[in-house]
A and B are shown apart, each in its own frame.
Chain A
Amino acid sequence: MGKFLPALNVIPKLRDATAHSMTKLSEKTLEQTGIFSRFLMDVADVFLFMARFNKELFSGRFEWKEFGHQCYQVGYKTLPLISITGAIMGLVLTIQSRPVLADFGAVSMLPGMVTVSLIREMGPVITALICAGKIGSGMGAELGSMKVTEQIEAMEVSSTNPMRFLVVTRVLAATIMIPLLVLYADLLGILGSWGGANIKGSVTFTLFFSQAFSAVDFLDFLPAVVKTFFFGAVIGLVGTYKGYNAGRGTESVGIAANSAVVLASLLVIIVDMIAVQITDMIIS
């Protein structure tokens, strides 16, 4: 019996250890609810910001020149980045899918399958995430530094509504240009896929494209395009919201840019999930 006694010593240690891990766990949960509730508050604030945006959108003069400039910034300046990622996306997807399809003897389905997944999901989501990084952070940093250096206030005292001049133009530019960027990425993705298909085997351009597009129907296309407008709006709204509401002091510029990317990416994924659910309900 005596030799079991030392084993009993373990029990308090075990109890301590459990207690320890329990406090850790509860701390963690607390921390997580902190993050979660902060996220919800952020989302609520973005909605409030959206209400302000809507009010400004339909009142007063529209800043066409700044809008044009922003379309150029958001659209044209992002093209190189989107070109590379779009093409590589198609290429990689093709190379990865080929062996699986070959196992089923269905290599001829390759163009169609890759095209459908590009148009439905990969193109919109990956492009939107890249735009959240480039455009969301750009807007957060730009407006954030304008806020910190009193440029937004300077606008306000020179008879300009900064909400209309800075926010409305940027959000609209993102809402219109991001869907175009997605279509462009889809197209380059399909080209990349054609390239990938030609690594092992050879397919003519026309054959590849006819196979690709015969697999896609309108119901793949429409919901995918519709959701990209929401992605664009989310990225524009979050980027401008974070910048416009940056705190005081230079460090808030970095914080604005960073949190714009985090929140915009997260919301893109969430909007995508909701969009997929709704599409599914409508189609079935």
Chain B
Amino acid sequence: MSTFPTDINTIAWPKATDRESVIEINNLKKSFGTQQVLKDVSIKLYKGENLVILGKSGSGKSVLIKCIVRLMNPDAGTINVLGENLSTLNTDALGLLRQKLGFLFQSGALYDSMTVRENLEFPLRRIKKDLSEKEISEKVIEALENVGLADALNKMPSQLSGGMRKRISLARTIVVDPMIMLYDEPTTGLDPVTSDEISELINEVQKKYKTSSIIITHDIECARATADRIIMLKDGEVYTEGNIDDFETSTDPLIKSFFK
């Protein structure tokens, strides 16, 4: 346990054939102009796990996670989500697939011009079209209660603190019952106490909604609290992979710089 191998191939992780994977990313490449952001990234997300992806800011974490919902198109490589190859989907099929994914944006992305209730109703009305008004209202309240903010129902986003905005944004994501959750830096910019609360919520969501999640972060506390497995990105490539103990006890200088 003292040192741990940085070569992924020597780690005795369960093979893909042993566990069902819900997302498979193979040899993903993405550049902006001459800047190569993702050089060659291959990642699998297994059913029911919380996978934390660690990396410095600017290492292409957001680009990676946005490729998974096709908000960005990769230059090369394939992404399979729930058995569907993203690049082959037409607009309608992509829309249907996206309904099964929940995306928590780095900035929260609450609609400023709408109240909290309208923010939550927005995806609900568009994704679950056969709900009655009563059911919509119940689901909105339930989601808000799950993040502990039922009393914010009629507030505007500008009236909320950073931590509250993140939680409302999480409520807006879970209100449509996604199968896979994608968290883009859920705790960045929050104080340690609020960060812990968000990490706790991430765990609760996983238990309650039985989701598989990718959590992108550079916050070690969040990784400690939520990770079943960790992948570290460096210079647009997967640098290393392991569980939290492997990382805590690693002697690799880059990993140590994160876990000091």
Within 8 A of B (CB), among A116-157: 142, 145-146, 149-151, 153-157
In the complex, chain B residues whose CB is within 8 Å of the CB of A146: 111-112
Q: A5 CB to closest chain B CB, in angstroms?
A: 60
Q: Is the CB of A156 within 8 A of B71?
A: yes
Other than A154-B111, A157-B69, A159-B127, give 17 A-B pairs with Cβ distance below 8 A: A145-B112, A149-B107, A150-B105, A150-B106, A151-B111, A151-B112, A153-B66, A153-B109, A154-B103, A156-B71, A157-B71, A157-B101, A158-B123, A158-B127, A158-B176, A159-B95, A159-B99
Identity of the chain A residue whose Cβ is nearest the Cβ of B69 in the assembled complex: A157
A153 engages B126 (CB within 8 Å): no
Q: Is B98 in contact with chain A by the CB < 8 A criterion?
A: yes
Question: Residue on B with the closest CB to A159?
Answer: B126
Q: Do B109 and A154 touch (CB < 8 A)?
A: yes
A97 near B: Cβ within 8 Å? Answer: no
Q: How far is the CA of A142 from the CA of B98 in the complex (A)?
A: 25
Closest to B176 in A: A158
**Given A156-B71, A157-B98, A159-B98, A151:B109 Cβ within 8 A:** yes
**Cα–Cα distance between A160 and B99 once the two chains are bound (Å):** 11
Q: List 20 A-B contacts (CB under 8 A).
A: A146-B111, A149-B108, A150-B106, A150-B107, A151-B109, A151-B110, A151-B111, A151-B112, A153-B105, A154-B105, A154-B109, A154-B111, A157-B69, A158-B126, A158-B127, A159-B98, A159-B123, A159-B126, A159-B127, A160-B122
Which of A150, A154, A155, A160 is most buried by chain B, counting CB atoms within 10 A of its CB?
A154
Give chain B's interface residues, CB within 8 Å of chain A: 66, 69, 71, 95, 98-99, 101, 103, 105-113, 122-123, 126-127, 176
Across the interface, which residues of B come within 8 angstroms of A145, CB to CB? 112
Min C-beta distance of A226 to chain B, whole Å: 33
The total of chain A residues at the interface (CB under 8 A) is 14
B interface majority secondary structure: loop
Residues of A participating in the B interface, judged by any CB pair closer than 8 Å: 142, 145-146, 149-151, 153-160
- Bound together, the chains give a CA A98 to CA B43 distance in angstroms of 79
- Chain A residue nearest in CB terms to B95: A159
Determine how close the nearest CB of chain B comes to the CB of A256; give it in whole angstroms. 16
Q: Which residues of B contact A151 (CB under 8 A)?
A: 109-112
Within the complex, the shortest CB–CB distance from A1 to chain B, in Å, comes to 66
**Quick one: given A145-B112, A149-B109, A151-B109, are A157 and B103 in contact (CB under 8 Å)?**
yes
Q: CA A253 – CA B127 in complex, angstroms?
A: 30
A244 to B123, CA, bound (A): 21
Q: Which residues from A are CB-within-8-Å of B176?
A: 158
B114 to A: closest C-beta gap in Å: 10
